[in-house]
Amino acid sequence: MSDFLTLSSNDYAALLAGSERAIGVLREEARIALKTPFKYPGRGELTLFLTSNGARVRVSEGGQLIRFLEAQGMDLSVDEVISRTVFNAIKQTGARMGQGQIYLEVDAEGVPQALGTFTQALLEIVGLRHCKYKDALVQLNRANAGPSHDSRDSSPPTGL
């Protein structure tokens, strides 16, 4: 990504705060690698990639999140529970997934709000490695599947 202009986490904060100067850069063609103050646990900085054609801005994680999840043993193409959880989180932000990346497209003025929403979603997905969401979804799937026939169920059989 050497053809991207690298900006610091201070610039991330300026964009998040709606700095007119920072937003002005995105009203022209630009390719920016925007460092955030966040990190992928054990994997380095969470960097966002902003590509502007002067009218629309694409905010992306550059495929880093998918690679991070795969490195944690959470392959979206294999694990249906993780896949559904990630796609649901992405959908809630209005983002999309394609070509191995998660991205959101907005106009330049929409970037501050989009950065906050997009970053929050990424951080929540990074938290999946702790499996809290996966466990919750598994429990929900079991509950939706009907009564359990678990041998640990100590209630007596009914209707005999």
pLDDT tens digits along 52-95: 999 999 999 999 988 888 887 787 888 787 788 888 888 888 89
pLDDT of res. 80: 81
In a domain, 142, yes or no: no
- For residue 33, the surrounding DSSP H or E stretch is strand 29-40
pLDDT of res. 99: 85
Domain hosting 89: range is 5-128
pLDDT of res. 119: 93
Task: Report which DSSP code applies to 43.
Answer: T
pLDDT of res. 151: 46
User: 4: exposed, middle or buried (C-beta count within 10 Å: 0-12, 13-18, 19+)?
Assistant: middle
- Identify the three-state secondary structure at position 8: coil
In a domain, 147, yes or no: no
The pTM of the full predicted model, rounded to 2 decimals, is 0.76
In a domain, 56, yes or no: yes
d(CA 100, CA 81): 18
In a domain, 25, yes or no: yes
Mean pLDDT of the 124-143 span: 70
Q: How confident is the model at residue 7 (pLDDT cuts 50, 70, 90)?
A: very high
How many domains in the chain?
Answer: 1
In a domain, 148, yes or no: no
- Mean pLDDT check: name the lowest of 33-37, 52-56, 140-144, 152-156: 152-156
In a domain, 134, yes or no: no
> Is the pLDDT confidence value at 157 over 50?
no
Report the chain's mean pLDDT, rounded to a whole number.
84
Q: How confident is the model at residue 26 (pLDDT cuts 50, 70, 90)?
A: very high
In a domain, 152, yes or no: no
d(CA 129, CA 143): 23
In a domain, 112, yes or no: yes
